[in-house]
Amino acid sequence: MQERARQTPEALAIPFDVAKLDRLMEEAGIDILLATSKHNVQYLAGAERAIFFDYMDALGVSRYLPIMVYPKGAPDQAAFIGHRLETHQRAVAPLWIPEVKTTASGSVDAMARAVEVVRATGVPRKRIGVELAFLPMDAGKALSEALPDSQIKDALFVLERLRALKTPAELAKLRNASDLVVDAMLEVIARHGPGHTKREIADALRVAEVKRGLTFEYCLIAAGVNHNRAPSDQRWEQGDVLSLDSGGNFHGYIGDLARMAIQGDPDAELQEILSEIETIQRAAFEAVQPGRPGGDIYAAAERLVKQSKQRDSMEFLAHGMGLVSHEAPRLTANGPVPYDDTDARRPLEPGMVVSIETTLKHPRRGFIKLEDTVVVTERGHEIFGEGGRGWNRGGSAPAG
C-alpha cells in the first residue's frame, strides 16, 4: 500500500480548476464525486494512466477500477484508489492527491476502499456523483448497499464541462498527436504501391504511429468504389482512391484525422470533389471563433452542403475532442453519437477543441473525406495536423 501524510490545500499542486469543479458539483447537486473512467481519473489526478491497465481492464475474475474520490470544497480530503500493480508507478510518479491507496485487486474491493474514504472524510455524502456509464454494476451495487441513505447521481456532464477548456499543456499534446498521425499517414501512403491490401496498409499505419510515440487506436480505411472501411484483403489498385481515417493517442490525448490518397493521378472530377470538400472544411473553420455560438460551425458548412450537387451523398459533422472523441463542446443532437446540442447556442471559448469532418460517399468514385482538428484561440482558431490535405500519391513499392 502507498499512503502519504495529508497535505494542506496550499501545498497541493492540483492540476484542474478546483473552483470550477466545486461550482459544477453545486449546480448538479453533488456532494462528493467518485470518478471511475480512466480518462477522468487521469485528468483529475494529473498523471499518466496505470501502465499495466492502459488499454486493458479485465484481470482474473474482475476488472481494473481506479477511483478518484473528491469531496466538494475539500481537495485536502481527496483520495485515489488504485490497483496493487500501480504501487511502483505511483511511488516514482507521486500524485497530488493527499491519500493514495494502491491496494485493490478488482472492482468491488476498490469500491469498498472508496466507501471507507467517503465515511472517513466527514463531509456530506447525501448526494454522490458517479460516472454511470463507467461504473461496473457490481461496484455500483456495492456502493448503494454500503451507503443506502445516499442518492446516486450521474456526474458525467460535470466532468465533461470541467474538461471542456484545454490547458496549454493539453493543447500541446493534441497538436503533437495530430501532427504525428498525419505524418504517419503520409509515410504509409508513399510506401505502398498498387496491389497492397487494406489490411497491410492498416497494419503499416499502426507501426508508423507507434514508431512516432503514439498509441494506435484505430484505422478506418476505404479503397476504390467500396465504402466499407474495415481492414480487409481488398487491394488498393491503380486508379483507386484510398481514405485513411485514424486515431493515434499521445499521452491520453487523441489525434483523429482523415486524409485521401490515390494510385496514380486524380482526374478532373476527383480534383473538383476534394476541392469542394476542402471549401466546406474551410468555411466551418472560419466559424470557429471565440464568442460565436457553436452552432455557427454547422450553419457555415451546411449552407455549402445544401448547394452541392453531391448533397444527397454528403455528410458534415463537428464534435469536441480531447481525452475522448465526442466530448464537449456538444454541437449537434443529430450526429452519429447520441447527445444533446448543449453548445450549439453557447459561445465558443478559447481552449475548446473541435473535430471537423466532411464525408462524401460517392456512388462511382468511392469514399472521400477530410477530417481536421481545430482549436478555439483568443483571436480566432488554429488547425492542428494541417498537412496532406490534397490528393496524396501512392508509392511504387509493389505488393508482397
Q: pLDDT tens across 209-241, in order?
A: 999 999 999 999 999 999 999 999 999 999 999
Sign of CA dihedral 212, 214, 218, 222: negative
CA atoms lying within 13 Å on the CB side of residue 38: 18
**In the structure, what pLDDT confidence band is assigned to residue 55 with cuts at 50, 70 and 90?**
confident
At residue 79, does pLDDT exceed 90? Answer: yes
399 lies in some domain: no
pLDDT of residue 186: 98
Q: Same domain, yes or no, for 199 and 72?
A: no
- Which of residues 103, 131, 163 is at a domain's end? 163
Q: Please classify residue 275 by burial: count the beta carbons closer than 10 Å to its beta carbon, then call 0-12 exposed, 13-18 middle and 19+ buried.
A: exposed
Phi first, then psi: what are they for 216, rounded to 5°? -70, 130
Q: What is the mean pLDDT of residues 163-170?
A: 97
Q: Is residue 42 part of a domain?
A: yes
Domain that holds residue 111: 9-163
Return the minimum-mean-pLDDT range out of 49-58, 174-183, 252-261, 365-374.
49-58
Share of the chain above pLDDT 90, in %: 92
Q: Which of 141, 163, 185 is the last residue of a domain?
A: 163
Q: Are residues 181 and 266 in the same domain?
A: yes
3-state secondary structure of 222: strand
Contact by Cβ (8 Å): 260, 391? yes
* 28: confidence class by pLDDT, cuts 50, 70, 90: very high
Which residue, among 116, 137, 96, 132, has the nearest Cα to 10 in the 3D structure? 96
Residue 315: CB atoms within 10 A of its CB come to 14
Q: Do 82 and 35 fall into the same domain?
A: yes
At a CB cut-off of 8 Å and minimum separation 6, what does 336 contact?
Answer: 317
Confidence of residue 105 (pLDDT cuts 50, 70, 90): very high
What pLDDT sits at residue 397?
A: 74
Give the model's confidence band at 400: pLDDT under 50 very low, under 70 low, under 90 confident, else very high.
Answer: low
Same-domain check for residues 26 and 147: yes
pLDDT of residue 396: 77
For β-strands 127-130 and 32-35, DSSP reports them as parallel
Task: Report the pLDDT averaged over residues 13-31.
Answer: 97
According to the model, what pLDDT value does residue 5 have? 41
Q: Are residues 89 and 158 in the same domain?
A: yes
Cell of 182: 498525419
Range with lowest mean pLDDT among 8-22, 33-47, 373-387 = 8-22
Q: Is the confidence at residue 2, as pLDDT, over 50?
A: no
CATH number of the structural domain spanning residue 157 = 3.40.350.10
Q: Is the pLDDT of residue 1 over 60?
A: no
- Check whether 123 has a pLDDT greater than 60: yes
Statement: residue 279 has pLDDT above 90: yes
- Kindly state the average pLDDT of the residues 59-74: 96
398: in domain: no
At 349, the amino acid letter reads E
State pLDDT tens for residues 197-208: 999 999 999 999
Statement to judge: residues 151 and 207 lie in one domain: no
Same domain for 172 and 76: no
Q: How far apart are CA 249 and CA 176, in angstroms?
A: 10
Residue 62's pLDDT is what? 97
Residue 355 lies in a domain: yes
Q: Is residue 342 part of a domain?
A: yes
- Residue 17 sits in the same domain as residue 148: yes
What confidence score (pLDDT) does residue 8 get? 47
pLDDT, averaged across the chain: 95
Query: Can you give the CATH number for the domain in which 324 is found?
Result: 3.90.230.10
Same domain (yes/no): 153, 207: no
Q: What is the pLDDT of residue 336?
A: 87
Query: Minimum mean pLDDT among 29-33, 95-99, 395-399: which range?
Result: 395-399
CA angle 240, 210, 82 (to 5 degrees): 135
According to the model, what pLDDT value does residue 12 have?
62
Q: Do residues 177 and 158 share a domain?
A: no
Residue 21 in domain: yes
What is the per-residue pLDDT for 3?
47
For range 29-45, the mean pLDDT: 97
How confident is the model over 94-109, as a mean pLDDT?
Answer: 96
Here the cell at position 393 is: 500519391
Distances (CA, A) of 49 to 93, 99, 120, 222, 250: 11, 17, 26, 33, 12
Instruction: Work out the pLDDT band at 7, boundaries 50, 70, 90.
Output: very low
Q: How many domains does the chain have?
A: 2
Within a 10 A sphere around the Cβ of 137, how many other Cβ atoms? 8
| Beta-bridge partners for 369 | 359
- Helix and strand numbers (H, E) in the chain are 10, 18
| Lookup: cell for 30 | 453533488
Tell whether 260 and 115 lie within a shared domain. no
How far, in Å, CA of 250 to CA of 322, rounded?
Answer: 11
* Predicted confidence band of residue 13 (pLDDT cuts 50, 70, 90): confident
Q: Does residue 2 form part of some domain?
A: no
Check residue 337 and give its pLDDT.
87
Q: What is the pLDDT of residues 327-362, one digit of tens each?
A: 999 999 998 888 999 999 999 999 999 999 999 999
Are 143 and 195 contained in the same domain?
A: no
- In a domain? residue 84: yes
- What's the rounded Cα separation, in Å, for the pair 250 and 252? 5
Picking from 140, 163, 186, the residue at the C-terminal end of a domain is 163
